[in-house]
Amino acid sequence: MHSHCHKPRTEGIDKIARKKLMLASMLCVIFMIAEIIGGIYSNSLAIATDAAHLMADLASFMISLFALWIAARPSTKRLSFGWYRAEVIGALLSVLMIWVVTAILFYLAVLRTINKDFELDGEVMLITSGLGILVNIIMGATLHHHGHSHGGGGGHHEEQNINVRAAFVHVLSDFVQSLGVFIAALVIYFKPEWNIIDPICTFLFSVLVLVTTLAIMRDAIVVLMEGTPKYLDYTEVMQTFLQIEGVVRVHNLRIWALSINKIALAAHLAVEPTTNTEQVLREATQTVHAKYNFFETTLQIEEFQPDMEDCNQCSNPV
């Protein structure tokens, strides 16, 4: 007999992933402070902007750690879906904070470009940006080592590693920025009169920070709007149900995100009068779990009625 029992909700919590993210976060905090100090001593806005990008990385790590921790908390009578949306709220707040810092640095870079009355310490810039490259390599190696798959893990293994992979992408973009700051520092060290490169780099890196955080903002808004994740095809999911023997029509199909990585599904399956409803329910549940690994699945079986074809409530979205 098929077991009704749900999959354990804590199996996606990866202790190794948590340790890796905590290590990367500590490295990020230490060097972010070092970059802020280096930026002040060298009078470089480019280094300060790189520190802002590190702040974005740190926010990403914190959100990922929070997601791993919150998954272990049980739902309550008031929060029946659990605490998963708290991850999204945290992401929105962190992005807004980073945008404010970046906007201030962008404004200061504009003033420097107009006034051109600033001096830079190329040696401090060079040392700070060089350390930035080293720290990003260490963080990237730490995260990438964990992200390597050992064996044929399916959807569950992918879910375990998704937070670490997302953090690795952030570190990769910050490495590119640190490399840019290092090249600018080299130029300024040997050609101090070319200090205009510093605000120019600030403009470019501000755009890079904006681009990397826009993706977080977009995903967060989709979750809050209860939208279907872009990697799931609504029509394909519907066809999966229609291929089950006895299912005539699917309506009220809802696919939405509880958090960025936890997707819920609800649907009404209209079946022929002679259909074994228990068999359809069992097969439908097993099929979508095996194919899509939905976190929450609610299916209602009902007898097909001809007037369903013309019912507005039963019509599917365009």
Range with lowest mean pLDDT among 15-29, 33-47, 302-316: 302-316
Whether 214 and 255 share a structural domain: no
Question: Is residue 318 domain-resident?
Answer: no
311 falls in which pLDDT band (50, 70, 90)? low
Whether 287 and 161 share a structural domain: no
Going by their DSSP bridges, the two strands 263-271 and 296-303 should be labelled as: parallel
Whether 250 and 207 share a structural domain: no
Classified as helix, coil or strand, 154 is coil
Whether 249 and 295 share a structural domain: yes
CA distance 181 to 210: 17
Give the pLDDT score at 283.
94
Give the pLDDT score at 256.
92
Give the pLDDT score at 312.
65
The tally of domains found in the chain comes to 2
Closest CA to 232 of 295, 169, 280: 295
Whether 166 and 262 share a structural domain: no
* CATH code, domain carrying 239: 3.30.70.1350
Question: Is residue 4 domain-resident?
Answer: no
Whether 83 and 218 share a structural domain: yes
**What single-letter amino acid sits at 240?**
T
DSSP secondary structure string for all residues of 216-246: HHHHHHHHHTTPPPTTS-HHHHHHHHHTSTT
71 falls in which pLDDT band (50, 70, 90)? low
Which domain range does residue 32 map to? Answer: 15-224
Helix (H) or strand (E) holding 250: strand 247-257
Percent over 70 (pLDDT), the chain: 83
Whether 70 and 188 share a structural domain: yes
Whether 79 and 177 share a structural domain: yes
Closest CA to 294 of 24, 3, 6, 28: 6
Whether 165 and 134 share a structural domain: yes
Whether 176 and 301 share a structural domain: no
Question: Is residue 3 domain-resident?
Answer: no
Whether 250 and 140 share a structural domain: no
The dihedral through the CA atoms of 64, 66, 72, 73 has a sign that is negative
Of 161, 189, 224, the one marking the end of a domain is 224
Residue 304 is encoded by which pair of tokens?
A: 């097909």
* CATH code, domain carrying 201: 1.20.1510
220 falls in which pLDDT band (50, 70, 90)? confident
Question: Is residue 200 domain-resident?
Answer: yes
Beta strands in the chain (DSSP E): 247-257, 263-271, 296-303
Answer yes or no: is pLDDT of 22 > 80: yes
309 falls in which pLDDT band (50, 70, 90)? low
Whether 119 and 192 share a structural domain: yes
Question: Is residue 9 domain-resident?
Answer: no
Answer yes or no: is pLDDT of 27 > 70: yes
Neighbour count for residue 55 (Cβ, 10 Å): 21
Closest CA to 98 of 222, 201, 205: 205
Answer yes or no: is pLDDT of 106 > 50: yes
The dihedral through the CA atoms of 26, 30, 31, 36 has a sign that is positive
pLDDT tens per residue, range 45-63: 888 888 887 887 787 788 7
Residue 190 is encoded by which pair of tokens?
A: 């040997």
Give the pLDDT score at 11.
47
Question: Is residue 7 domain-resident?
Answer: no
pTM for this model (two decimals): 0.70
DSSP state, 4? Answer: -
The dihedral through the CA atoms of 188, 191, 194, 195 has a sign that is positive
Answer yes or no: is pLDDT of 88 > 60: yes
Of 224, 248, 271, the one marking the end of a domain is 224
Classified as helix, coil or strand, 64 is helix
